Amino acid sequence: MAIWDLESATVNAGASMGFTAQYYSEAANISHSEVWYNLTETEERTVTCPWIAASRTFSIGAIKTEEKRIFEKIWEYPHALAVKSKERRAYILTDKFPVSNTLGSLAWLNPETFGEEEYEKMEKYFAPGYMKLFKDSLERSMTWDDYNSMLVGLEKITKADFRLYTDSTKIESSGTWVKHFPKEYPEQPVREIPVPAAIKNLYDEIPFKDLIGKSSVYNVVYKRNYTIKAVLRVYDERGVYSITEAKSIEIN
């Protein structure tokens, strides 16, 4: 039988995790013990457009968790390192195991500038083509209110000029009026009215950074962190081992 406790649930990359284990064997002499652990990577990506009309938001986000390394042996401890406890009728092993210095967490959160370096980070952390995907997806979701909020807010067009591309329809069921782009065909419902070419051209000219930036903050979040699940195996001279409960450790 084997049980153990870790000194913490977190550890810095490149540091060591201390532990205390307790074990015994009634069937055969103990040979040695080993620490094994796997490695799981979690990535969070979120990009938000702050120019959408106040009644709603537009954001694309995802969290991906993937096991990057299956359980493998990390460190070995000769049984001679353990001390026999008469009180517990077991052996006590107090030691530590290493954590790679390449597994540190990474956070890129709402940068205040967005130049060439930030564009490169988008390609690296969000994958090539992500910025175009975001812009195309945003465009498909845009309403008259959104274009009004965005294009006027970004000073691509004045309020007065935007009115030239505005019409309204009365919703008989509620008695309210809904603003929208002018209808090309009177029988079209409001939701299917096409965006005027001039408005679409203005949108196409907007660089990605302006779609996500407002008040000196660019709404991008990228986080990457690692966790490990560690176990201690205690082997006897026959090669049979007892295994402790798995401990989850977050790497800073």
Report the CATH number at residue 11: 2.60.40.10
How many domains does the chain fold into?
Answer: 2
Q: What is the pLDDT of residue 190?
A: 56
129 lies in a domain?
A: no
pTM: 0.84
Nearest Cα to Cα of residue 202 among 151, 131, 143, 145 = 151
Mean pLDDT by groups of 10 residues along the chain of 252 residues = 97 97 90 98 97 89 96 97 93 97 95 97 95 97 94 97 91 84 62 85 98 96 98 96 97 96
Do 244 and 195 lie in one domain? The reply is: no
Do 158 and 224 lie in one domain? The reply is: no
224 lies in a domain?
A: yes
Nearest Cα to Cα of residue 34 among 218, 224, 243, 203 = 243
3 lies in a domain?
A: yes
First-last CA distance in the chain? 32
Query: How far is C-alpha 191 from the geometric centre of its chain's CA atoms?
Result: 34
1 lies in a domain?
A: yes
Query: For residue 180, what are its two tokens?
Result: 């929208």
Q: What is the pLDDT of residue 139?
A: 96
Q: What is the pLDDT of residue 88?
A: 86
Q: What is the pLDDT of residue 74?
A: 97
Do 104 and 9 lie in one domain? The reply is: yes
Q: What is the pLDDT of residue 188?
A: 54
118 lies in a domain?
A: no
13 lies in a domain?
A: yes
Q: Cα–Cα distance between 231 and 2 in angstroms, integer? A: 10
In our burial notation (b when 16+ CB lie closer than 10 A, e otherwise), range 49-82 reads: bbbbbeeeebeeeeeeeeeeeebeebeebebeeb
Give the structural domain span for 200.
Answer: 134-211
